[in-house]
Structure 1
């Protein structure tokens, strides 16, 4: 019923603006831009825009549009891949006429006139493919560019189909996408090729990470360390899986120091971590979350809670 409501609402509006979360990952941009391409291909007379800060490492997917405030008047706004309102990139999402939320994270913040939240989906990109197939009789049609973007989003959020969120349905929908003629190798190369400075910092991490007896791995990327390797805070996101294959790890946390805060990237092989992240200005999935702390003392408090979760978890 929700998918039908979304399609009916899309058909009602001539102008649509699609948002996603700050600090975007491939699924955020893939679902956002993929939805734009789906709507534009299906209904060529509609105006469709995507907004948010540029993420240079993902510019190979799509560039954002420049949209004036006046464009929002009478428009439909759709927010992809964002569980809570403070994390929506570009807070003008509130000034449209109607708001739709499409997300796959556990429910944190109820917002929007229509909400479609599916925590069983591997990604919002997967949900958009599902929407396209469901809506074929209503005029929705995928094209090559939409397929490319949505495939990249699924690949990014499933870790190349390795994460537990990958289901039979994920493979079925990905199979629909690969019937289109886009360069899958180019997507993988763009997502996973790294510069030598990233590889060198990766080597430093593998030589210096801390692994506790409970199975928690802690990595601290201080400002000094990032400057030494000439790696930006945004580029450091490429390193989050570096320790993922180390034997004995149950969960790991990357603390990335910025000028006014410390960003925490949390990952797990079993212990539930999103509930912990929510206590530290964050949230996300049970096995992949983010948080923000404002001192190394607060970072230690986060680390201790993760330690306890690892101690209580039996693999």
Structure 2
């Protein structure tokens, strides 16, 4: 599969790389890391990264703004996105050929060529393997691509603390660390918080609830977000604020976002992506997202989490 992707990239003069909306470090790291690898290997090709900007991760790089005509006879690659509904910039269909690269369960095998492997911690880790297997073709990880891919792996493994961190993950991360990017600067940028976020975190720590000593719940209304001048997307930085509470098995963040309520689910054991799938979402067994359309529906989700902990 990797060789097929290498061959497709060779065929096209223009490559446009997408990822999911409301990007996290893995979405941006895999998208921009792959772009950097292709640019270095094929300096004559035109390579774009597209999608909305995420201010908190702007230190990783900026998106390109391109007209529709750039999609004519282009290769489009979508990274880290399980289903088409979540792809940022819906012009992904305008290209000549579409490739999906992802580590989430293959809920929707869209595209002309699909490389999905859930054994990887992150899509960024998959791109490291892509580069390693492409050495004979001229692919080489430099300091910039190493930083981007390292950011993605760190983001999706929780700084190598989550159970998706395998021996292979650490081996591939070591390939990146050998490059000369500034790890101290990276972690400072990744974990810095604006004053408003620090104050919201304090509010979260004071107001989250725990059910049966196992299920942590936080609900943030639009009024509360407005009070702290924080967007729904920014609030995602706080999803693990109370994750270290003793006895906690699962936790959920509900954040009002217009007519929807964003649902961010995390677990230390019980499978939660099946619950997410029942509420317009999906993801990994221990980390998933969903969308609710009423606060009553959020109560249904909490009840399912409680039941999952009792199995």
> Fold-level match, TM-score > 0.5?
yes
Cα deviation, 1:228-262, whole Å, max 9, x if unaligned, reads 22222121111001011001111010000122111
2:288 maps to 289
Cα deviation, 1:147-187, whole Å, max 9, x if unaligned, reads 11111111111111111111111111111111111111111
- 1:112: how far off? 1.0
- 1:197: how far off? 2.2
Q: How does 1:31-70 map to 2 (within 5 A)?
A: 31-70=30-69
1:261 maps to 260
Q: Distance in 2 between matches of 1:147 and 1:36?
A: 12
Q: How does 1:229-308 map to 2 (within 5 A)?
A: 229-308=228-307
- 1:200: how far off? 2.0
2:129 maps to 130
Cα deviation, 1:96-143, whole Å, max 9, x if unaligned, reads 111110000011101111111110101100000110001101221222
Cα deviation, 1:197-244, whole Å, max 9, x if unaligned, reads 222222222222111116111101112222222222121111001011
- On the 8 A contact 1:214/1:307 being kept in 2, the answer is no
- On the 8 A contact 1:214/1:311 being kept in 2, the answer is no
- 1:81: how far off? 0.1
Gaps of 5+ in 1: none
- 1:303: how far off? 1.4
2:209 maps to 210
Q: Distance in 2 between matches of 1:48 and 1:214?
A: 50
- Say what the alpha-carbon RMSD is for the aligned residues: 1.0
1:71 maps to 70
Length-normalised TM-score, structure 2: 0.98
Q: Distance in 1 between matches of 2:310 and 2:139?
A: 49
Q: Distance in 2 between matches of 1:197 and 1:291?
A: 26
2:7 maps to 8
Q: Distance in 1 between matches of 2:79 and 2:258?
A: 29
Q: Distance in 1 between matches of 2:212 and 2:53?
A: 41
Equivalent residues, number: 311
Q: How does 1:177-216 map to 2 (within 5 A)?
A: 177-213=176-212, 215-216=214-215
- 1:196: how far off? 2.4
> Which deviates more, 20-29 or 107-116?
107-116
Q: Distance in 1 between matches of 2:13 and 2:228?
A: 48
- 1:8: how far off? 0.9
Length-normalised TM-score, structure 1: 0.97
